[in-house]
């Protein structure tokens, strides 16, 4: 499918999977009522323990992103896209706040921070082209 796990990025693998699914739902890559891969299928594809996938899926059900479909598996829940977009903004806000706090502790002033952000945004845009 479209998942990628990195055992060295500091986040548990189940959390990486859950976040990627939430971001895919937020972006409309996974749509409401669309079935997601089974635990076995995704575990085989990513070469990781099925219990790790099951844990991510349980978390996503608790977060009302996925819901069970009798005899078919799990599908994207109604209203999940909006919840996932809100969650994504929250996650980005927390990470951004951490980076900004570190920058302020490094004694960078607001002008320098703005310039740095603008340069990095421009670089990302260039890389996408």
Q: How confident is the model at residue 91 (pLDDT cuts 50, 70, 90)?
A: confident
With a pLDDT cut of 70, the percent of the chain lying above it is 99
Please tell me the predicted confidence (pLDDT) of residue 27: 94
- What is the arithmetic mean of pLDDT over 71-81? 95
Please tell me the predicted confidence (pLDDT) of residue 38: 94
Domains of the chain, with CATH numbers? 1-129 (1.10.10.10)
Predicted confidence (pLDDT) at residue 76 exceeds the cutoff of 80: yes
Q: How far is Cα 55 from Cα 35, in angstroms, rounded to an integer?
A: 17
Which pLDDT tens digit goes with each residue over 58-72? 999 999 999 999 999
DSSP state at residue 11: S
Entry pTM: 0.78
User: Phi and psi at residue 52, in whole multiples of 5°?
Assistant: -65, -45
Q: Count CA within 13 A, CB hemisphere, residue 47.
A: 3
Helix (H, G, I), strand (E, B) or coil at 67: strand
Q: How far is Cα 72 from Cα 54, in angstroms, rounded to an integer?
A: 15
Alpha helix (H) ranges present in the chain?
Answer: 13-27, 39-46, 50-62, 80-105, 110-128
- Cβ atoms of 12 and 48 within 8 Å: the answer is no
- What is the arithmetic mean of pLDDT over 15-30? 94
Please tell me the predicted confidence (pLDDT) of residue 104: 87
Mean pLDDT of the chain: 93
Q: How confident is the model at residue 77 (pLDDT cuts 50, 70, 90)?
A: very high
Q: What is the residue-wise DSSP string for 69-98?
A: ETTTEEEEPTTHHHHHHHHHHHHHHHHHHH
β pairing state of 73-76 and 66-69: antiparallel
């Amino acid at each position: 499918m479209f998942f990628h796990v990195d055992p060295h990025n500091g986040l548990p693998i189940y959390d990486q999977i859950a976040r990627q699914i939430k971001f895919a739902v937020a972006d409309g890559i996974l749509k409401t009522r669309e079935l997601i891969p089974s635990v076995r299928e995704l575990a085989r594809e990513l070469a990781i323990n099925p219990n790790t996938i099951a844990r991510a899926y349980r978390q996503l059900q608790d977060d009302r992103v996925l819901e069970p479909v009798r005899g078919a598996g799990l599908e994207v829940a109604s209203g999940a896209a909006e919840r996932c977009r809100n969650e994504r903004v929250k996650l980005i806000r927390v990470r951004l706040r951490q980076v900004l706090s570190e920058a302020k502790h490094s004694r960078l002033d607001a002008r320098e921070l703005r310039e740095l952000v603008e340069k990095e945004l421009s670089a990302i845009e260039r890389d996408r082209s």
